[in-house]
Amino acid sequence: MQNNISTVLKNLGILDLNPAFSTGNNWGALTAAITIDSVSPVDGKKIARVQVATAEDYETVIKKASAAFLFWRNLPAPKRGDIIRQFAEALRKNKEDLGTLVSYEMGKSLQEGFGEVQEMIDICDFAVGLSRQLYGLTMHSERPSHRMYEQWHPLGIVGIISAFNFPVAVWSWNAALAWVCGNVCIWKPSEKTPLTAIACQHIIAAVFKANGVPEGVSNLITGDKEVGELMTNDTRVPLISATGSTRMGKAVAVAVGARLGKSLLELGGNNAIIISEHADLDMSLIGAVFGAVGTAGQRCTSTRRLIIHESVYDVFTAKLIKAYGQLRIGDPLDQHNHVGPLIDKAAVNAYLDSIEKCKAEGGKFVVEGGLLAGPQYASGCYVKPCIAAVKNDYQIVQHETFAPILYLIKYKTLDEAIALQNGVPQGLSAAIMTLNLREAEQFLSASGADCGIANVNIGTSGAEIGGAFGGEKETGGGRESGSDAWKAYMRRQTNTINYSNTLPLAQGIKFDL
On whether both 246 and 310 belong to a single domain, the answer is no
- Using CA atoms, how far apart are residues 185 and 489, in angstroms rounded to an integer? 11
On whether both 229 and 370 belong to a single domain, the answer is no
448 domain-assigned: yes
512 domain-assigned: no
Q: Which domain holds residue 448?
A: 271-465
On whether both 255 and 335 belong to a single domain, the answer is no
User: 222-226: which pairs have CB atoms within 8 A and are 24 or more residues apart?
Assistant: 222/19, 222/20, 222/21, 222/36, 222/50, 222/51, 222/52, 222/53, 222/188, 222/189, 222/191, 222/194, 222/197, 222/198, 223/20, 223/34, 223/36, 223/52, 223/53, 223/188, 223/191, 224/36, 224/52, 224/191
What's the total number of domains in the chain? 2
pLDDT (average), residues 28-56: 86
Catalytic annotation on 300? Answer: yes
510 domain-assigned: no
Catalytic residue among 124, 185, 200, 300: 300
On whether both 192 and 56 belong to a single domain, the answer is yes
pLDDT tens digits along 246-266: 999 999 999 999 999 999 999
On whether both 53 and 196 belong to a single domain, the answer is yes
Catalytic residue among 112, 266, 400, 480: 266
On whether both 398 and 263 belong to a single domain, the answer is no
499 domain-assigned: no
502 domain-assigned: no
411 domain-assigned: yes
On whether both 334 and 446 belong to a single domain, the answer is yes
Closest CA to 293 of 384, 363, 357: 384
On whether both 324 and 180 belong to a single domain, the answer is no
CATH number for the domain harbouring residue 197: 3.40.605.10
Catalytic annotation on 381? Answer: no
23 domain-assigned: yes
CATH number for the domain harbouring residue 435: 3.40.309.10
On whether both 81 and 139 belong to a single domain, the answer is yes
Helix (H) or strand (E) segment spanning residue 145:
none
In this prediction, residue 28 has a pLDDT band, given cuts at 50, 70 and 90, of confident
Cβ atoms of 426 and 471 closer than 8 Å: yes
pLDDT tens digits along 381-390: 999 999 999 9
pLDDT at 13: 87
503 domain-assigned: no
On whether both 317 and 249 belong to a single domain, the answer is no
- Residue 14 pLDDT exceeds 90: no
On whether both 452 and 338 belong to a single domain, the answer is yes
On whether both 182 and 125 belong to a single domain, the answer is yes
- Using CA atoms, how far apart are residues 428 and 450, in angstroms rounded to an integer? 8
- Using CA atoms, how far apart are residues 355 and 349, in angstroms rounded to an integer? 10
Is residue 148 packed enough to be buried (19+ CB in 10 Å), middle (13-18) or exposed (0-12)? middle
Return the percentage of the chain with pLDDT > 90, whole number.
91
**pTM of the predicted structure, to 2 decimals:** 0.96
pLDDT at 27: 78
pLDDT tens digits along 265-316: 999 999 999 999 999 999 999 999 999 999 999 999 999 999 999 999 999 9
